[in-house]
């Protein structure tokens, strides 16, 4: 039986500064209670003022979760302690598993022009927090785009897009324990789309151009507001104007979270250990692997 999801609560993004002074719209993660298990943080960056992004993110550590960077415009270079380099370019995605530890930088490779995109922090369950660090770069060509009629479309970055008429499009990221669904929609004025969301998975809608209606529920969700949804099996989005939005969903982990900056663990003792490991230079010890999605 279909059970439509509606809006349960709204988190309005606020402008914050992170890295060496990059201007960001942060919704999830603004405060520690503003999370949606397993999503820890959602940042949207977007500016054509170089001063808003040029300082970038100099080397910094992470432990205990995954970071997902989706570039809409611009060019950043990822470098990490393993000697990896990854170019983040328009339409590409970097899926990085910090696991036990990674030290990386993300620096702009442009002096001017538009830099726009998202960084999502996705938690790992306790049994995976100390696994080896890894990352995968997805080129725009690896991310399927499905036409929704007219000029409307959806890009499927992670999980399966299952439309109400039964068609399925699989994204390149599959097989993770939180089963993330990561969708990017462009909808024309007057268009509506209905699709499945797994029962029990937490989900949100984040418009970043224009505003969108969830079902026929009013008022519409304004841009840069994360609309957290009720549980259910189906989501219907209606665009009264041209809109771009993300839909994110994943299986909640249901474990305690202790966060200290870029370290996200289950207990205070594990955070203390992460800080000690970082100070001792052993945060990243352990073999690196290359990620393969099944
Ligand atoms: Co980082």
Question: Domain limits of the chain?
Answer: 7-250
φ, ψ of residue 65 to 5 degrees: the values are: -160, -170
Structure confidence at residue 82 (pLDDT)? 78
> In this predicted structure, what is the pLDDT of residue 232?
97
Q: What is the pLDDT of residue 134?
A: 86
3-class secondary-structure state, position 241: coil
Span from the CA of 105 to the centroid of ligand 1 (angstroms): 7
Output the pTM of the full model.
0.95
Element (H, E) at 278: helix 268-280
How far is the centre of ligand 1, averaged over its atoms, from the C-alpha of 47 (Å)? 19
What is the whole-number distance in angstroms between the Cα of residue 19 and the centre of ligand 1? 8
Which among 21, 26, 25, 84 is positioned nearest to 54, based on CA atoms? 21
Q: How far apart are the first and last CA of the chain?
A: 30
Contact 81, 19 (CB under 8 A): no
- Alpha carbon of 61 to ligand 1 centroid (Å): 7
CA 288 to chain CA centroid, Å, is 23
Tell me how far the alpha carbon of residue 5 lies from the centroid of ligand 1, in angstroms. 32
Distance of CA 261 from the midpoint of ligand 1 (Å)? 11
Q: How is domain 7-250 classified at the architecture level of CATH?
A: Sandwich (2.60)
The length of the chain in residues reads 294
pLDDT for res 2: 72
CA–centroid distance, residue 128 to ligand 1 (Å):
18
Distant-in-sequence, close-in-space partners of 100: CB < 8 Å, separation ≥ 6: 63, 129, 130, 131, 132, 133, 283, 284, 285, 286
Token pair 């809006």 in the structure block, residue: 7
Across the chain, which has 294 residues, the per-10-residue mean pLDDT values are: 90 93 93 94 92 91 96 93 87 94 92 93 97 90 94 97 93 97 97 97 98 92 97 96 98 97 97 94 69 41
Centre of ligand 1 from the C-alpha of residue 60, in Å? 6
Instruction: Tell me the CA distances in angstroms from 75 to 72, 102, 260, 270, one per residue in order.
Output: 9, 21, 29, 35
């Amino acid at each position: 039986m279909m059970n439509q999801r509606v809006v349960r609560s709204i988190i309005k993004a606020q402008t914050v500064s992170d890295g060496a002074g990059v201007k960001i719209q942060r919704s999830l993660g603004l405060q520690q209670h503003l999370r949606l298990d397993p999503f820890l943080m959602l940042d949207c960056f977007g500016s054509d003022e170089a001063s808003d992004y040029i300082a970038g993110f100099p080397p910094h550590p992470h432990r205990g979760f995954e970071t997902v960077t989706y570039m809409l415009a611009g060019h950043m270079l990822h470098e990490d302690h393993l000697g990896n380099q990854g170019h983040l370019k328009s339409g590409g995605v970097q899926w990085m598993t910090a696991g036990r530890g990674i030290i990386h930088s993300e620096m702009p490779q442009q002096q001017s022009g538009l830099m726009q995109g998202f960084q999502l922090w996705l938690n790992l369950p306790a049994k995976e927090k100390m696994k080896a660090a890894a990352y995968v770069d997805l080129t725009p060509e690896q991310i399927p785009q499905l036409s929704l009629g007219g000029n409307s479309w959806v890009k499927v970055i992670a999980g399966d897009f299952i439309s109400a008429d039964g068609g399925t499009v699989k994204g390149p990221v599959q097989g993770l324990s939180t089963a993330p669904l990561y969708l990017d929609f462009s909808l024309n004025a007057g268009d509506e789309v209905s699709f499945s969301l797994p029962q029990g998975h937490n989900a949100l809608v984040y418009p970043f151009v224009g505003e969108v209606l969830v079902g026929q529920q009013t008022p519409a969700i304004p841009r840069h507001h994360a609309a957290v949804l009720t549980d259910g099996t189906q989501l219907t989005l209606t665009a009264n104007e041209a809109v771009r939005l993300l839909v994110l969903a994943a299986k909640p982990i249901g474990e305690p979270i202790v966060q200290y900056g870029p370290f996200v663990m289950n207990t205070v003792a594990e955070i203390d250990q992460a800080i000690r490991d970082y100070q001792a230079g052993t945060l990243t010890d352990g073999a690196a692997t290359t990620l393969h999605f099944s």
